[in-house]
Amino acid sequence: MSMTGAQIIVDALEREGVQHVFSFPGGAILDLADALANSKKVRMILARHEQGAGHMADGYARSSGKPGVILVTSGPGATNIVTALANAHMDSIPIVALTGQVPTAAIGNDAFQEADVVGITRPCTKHNYLVKDIRELGRTLKEAFHIATTGRPGPVLIDLPKDIQQQTLENYAYPAKVEMRSYKPTIEGNPKQIELAARMIERAKKPILYVGGGAAASGAHKEVIALAEKCDLPTTTTLLGMGVFPETHPLSLKMLGMHGTAYANHAVHECDCLIAAGARFDDRVTGKLATFAPHCRNAIIHIDIDPASISKSVAAALPIVGDCRNVLKALLKEVKPGRHPEWRAQIEEWKKKYPLSYDRASKGLKPQYVIEQLYAFTGGDAIVTTEVGQHQMWAAQFWTTREPRTFLSSGGLGTMGFGLPAAIGAQVANPKRLVVNIAGDGSIQMNAQEFSVAALNNLPVKTLILNNGYLGMVRQWQQLFYGKRYVLTPLKRVNDPTLPTRKKPAKDLPEYIPDFVKLAEAHGCVGLRVTRKEDVEGAFKEMVKVKRPVVIDFLVEPEENVFPMIPAGKSVAEMIASHEDYTRGLA
C-alpha cells in the first residue's frame, strides 16, 4: 500500500484504537492535521493553548486507562507542552505526543519555529524519537504506544519533520507486533519473594497497606481490596492512589502524608509491617526520612514495576519487581488470612481522636463545607479533577473517593492549571458522567482559556472555584512560617501593610478580580456566584440542571488553612493536626 507519512500516522492512530486527539495546529504539522480530517475514527479537539491540550490528554488517560494523544506544531508549540509532559512523566500517565518539526534539511540551521524538541523533552518523557526516514515511521509509532502503556506508563514523544509527513512510502504495512530487545519490563513477581512477603505479613501485629498510583495504573483495585480484607490490613493511599481502595470501607485510612489524615500518619508511624503497592515513597508522604515508619524498617515490602523506584527513597527489606496486579494476585494465593483486633481498635481510637474537622458552626462559607455538600448532593457519583493548592488538599480530604480513575489530580509536579483541561479530557472520555473540577482562584487562571473548548464542544464540565482571594497554599505557608508577610499572594484588592507604597483601593472598585461569572459568560459558559452557606445546594441544583459548562464562584473565608499538616522535612511528632493545635502553638 502506498501512503504519505501523514497518512501512515493516521493509519497507526486508527489501528491503535485512538478516538480523540487534543491539538493546536501550526505550519509544521499541517500535513498531518489535514490527513486526520479525513479519518472517520479519530476526532480532533482544538485546545486554546498547547499546555491545555497536554493536560486534556492527561485527564483523558487517567480517567479511561487509554493513552492520551497530543498533536502540536514545532518550536513554541512543542515547548509549550513541556509542562504537561513533565506532569505526566512524574505521575506515570501514558501519553503519545506528536510534534511537528522543520524539514530534515533545515534541522540545526535555526529555521523559523525550530527547537531541539528531542533534547528539551528527554528529561520529561519516558522515551522520544526524531523520525528522519519515512521507512521507520510505522515501527516508531508502534513502539511509542507500546512504551507509553507498558511497564511504568509515561509520555512518549515523536518529532515529525514536515518533509517526512509529505513523503510517500510504497508497500507500507503497519507492524503487527513490537520487537524491542532493550525494553522488556518485568511483569511477574519473583515467586520466592512473594512467598517471603506472605510470611512477613502473617507475622505482623500492626500491618499497613500503603497504595499508590501504580496500583491504579495496573488496574489492581480488586486485588487491593481482596488482600486488605483477607489479611485485615488497614489501608492508606497516596493522592494518586485515591479510589483504588474505597474510602467508605471500614479499613480505609484515607490519604497519608503532609496533608493526609492524622490517623493514617499515626498508623504508619506505629506499624510493624508496611506493604507498599505501586507507591514510590514521595517526600510529601514520608516527611523526615529518618523518622518515617521507624518500627518497620526491617519489614517494608515494596511492590513496583519500576526497579529504579524501589529503595530510591526508603530502603525496602523485601523488594518485589513486577506488575502490581499480577504480584497481588500471586500474593493472595500464598498468604494466609489474618486478624488484628488490638491494632484495629487502636486505629479506631485514633479516628475518633483525630477526625478531619473544621468549624462547622461558622456562619461564613467554608471551603470544606462546599466539598462536603458536593459529595452529599452527588452521592459521590462524579469524576473529580482538581487544580493545585489548598482546594486540592481539601478535595482530597473531604471528597470521599469510592472508585478508581475518578479522582484526577496533579501529584508529583503539582501543576497549577491542570484541573480544567484535565476535566475536559475526562469528559471527552466519559461523556455520560458528571465531571467536576474543584479549583482555586489562582490555579484556574493558568488555563482559563480552555473554558471555550468545553463550551464549543458541548462538554458540560462543572467548575467550582473556591475563591479566597489568595494564592492560598503559599499564603498558608507565609502565615505559618513567614510571620504573616503575604508577599505576592493576594489576588484581590488589599491595602497591604507589608507594601507601604501601595495606595488604598478606591471604594468604587471591585474587591475580587477577575469577575469569574463574567469570565465564564465570555467563554460561553454559565456563571454563578455563591457567598452564603444556605445557597450552596441551590447552586448545585442549577449546576446539574444546565446541560452546559458551569462555573460557580464560591467566595469562601479568605484565611482558612489546610489541616492536618506536617511541615516540610518534619516528622509525625511535629504534625499540626488542627487549627486548635496551631493556635495552641502560638500561645
* Element containing residue 444 per DSSP (H, E): none
| 398 is annotated as an active-site residue | no
Residue with cell 479525513: 38
Whether 278 contacts 217, CB under 8 Å: yes
Which among 200, 473, 565, 575 is annotated as catalytic?
Answer: 473
Q: For residue 553, give the nearest of 389, 472, 440 by alpha carbon.
A: 440
| 162 is annotated as an active-site residue | yes
| 7 is annotated as an active-site residue | no
| 206 is annotated as an active-site residue | no
CA distance 375 to 401: 9
Which among 126, 142, 143, 162 is annotated as catalytic?
Answer: 162
Which among 3, 22, 24, 50 is annotated as catalytic?
Answer: 50
CA distance 237 to 257: 9
**Secondary structure letter of residue 462 according to DSSP:** E
Q: Mention every residue, 6+ apart, whose C-beta is less than 8 A from residue 400.
A: 247, 248, 375, 380
CA distance 82 to 510: 36
Whether 239 contacts 279, CB under 8 Å: no
- Expressed in angstroms, the distance from the first to the final Cα of the chain is 79
| 242 is annotated as an active-site residue | no
Cross-strand pairs, 407? 384
Buried/exposed 321-340: b ≥16 CB within 10 Å, e otherwise: bbbbbbbbbbbeeebeeeeb
Q: Which amino acid is at 576?
A: I
Tell me how far CA of residue 392 lies from CA of 318, 396, 426, in angstroms: 33, 6, 17
Catalytic residues: 50, 112-113, 162, 473
